[in-house]
Amino acid sequence: MSHLAAQEAESIAIEANTCEKALDGESPSSVRIRAVDKAVFLGLKSLKELDADRMRLNDFEFNAMIYRLVDDYVEDLTSKVTKSSDGKVCVEISGYINPNNIALVQSEFQTSSSSDDESVRQIAGEVNKALTLKPQNPQNLALVYIKDLQYDNGAVSQKYAQFLKDKMKDNPYYYLTDEEDLADYVITPKFLKGKVDALDATHKRLQMVVVLDVDGLQDSTQSISQNRFLLFSSDEDEQDIAKRLLKKLLEASAQDAVRQIERKEQQKLEQNALGRQE
């Protein structure tokens, strides 16, 4: 395992241990994966660098921020089983996280902690909700075109393109279209990396990187990326593990793309409304 992150002064060490009980019929390897994910979560949650966020965010927001860090930004994650008996698996984990990535995620969860600001924010939220413009004419909705998934070896997949379409359909701001030339937004999903490393004789680690290139949001193509490490047992079906992780990353990327498209379309509606009032 590379420990390059440990050599960088700005990297922050993560350490934790925890135990998980097996569910009915659950394999030890599956319990171990859950235990590792939980330990990484707890390790990040205990960092002093997140003390201010713990104070200013509610429990749901704070946990959501931690899960965002767990999914995308933990580096050089290693784990070992300290106990495996009586239907319980205990693990120790260690890894690193770059404070720049913490700051990036913190910026996504910016809220104010003062009571006065909280009152102002609540009032502003109510006003904004009342004034939020929604598309009124279905004929004027934006059009979104989703291309086939492109693999790093040049192959393509209609199956995962359809998976994205199913996740992005039925939106009040746009329609999906089969005509690329007519589309306001063109989404190109790309599988950039899929790498499996053997950790020991019985466990492996999968790293996967997925990107959605979105044309139409700005003058240049916007890339929405998702990546994650996943630990699994050597006796599990590697292809099945990879397929499930690919779907998870595509779904997360799709959610981000939908939010950005909705924001862009909302801005257009507001600009049109202002133009009519002038």
Q: What is the pLDDT of residues 217-226, one digit of tens each?
A: 988 999 998 8
Q: What is the pLDDT of residues 120-168, one digit of tens each?
A: 455 545 544 444 555 555 667 899 999 999 998 889 999 999 999 999 9
Q: Which CATH class for the 131-277 domain?
A: alpha beta
In this structure, what DSSP letter does residue 180 have? G
Distances (CA, A) of 164 to 157, 192, 202, 260: 11, 17, 34, 16
> What does the pLDDT read at residue 190?
96
What is the DSSP track for 85-126?
ETTEEEEEEEEEE-HHHHHHHHHHT----SHHHHHHHHHHHH
Q: What is the mean pLDDT of residues 223-252?
A: 89
pTM of the model: 0.54
CA-CA distance, 17 to 25, in Å (whole number)?
24
Q: What are the residues facing 18 on neighbouring strands? A: 91
4-108 folds as Thiol Ester Dehydrase; Chain A (3.10.129)
CA-CA distance, 204 to 220, in Å (whole number)?
38
Q: What is the pLDDT of residues 87-105, one digit of tens each?
A: 888 999 998 998 888 988 8
Domain extent listing, the chain: 4-108, 131-277
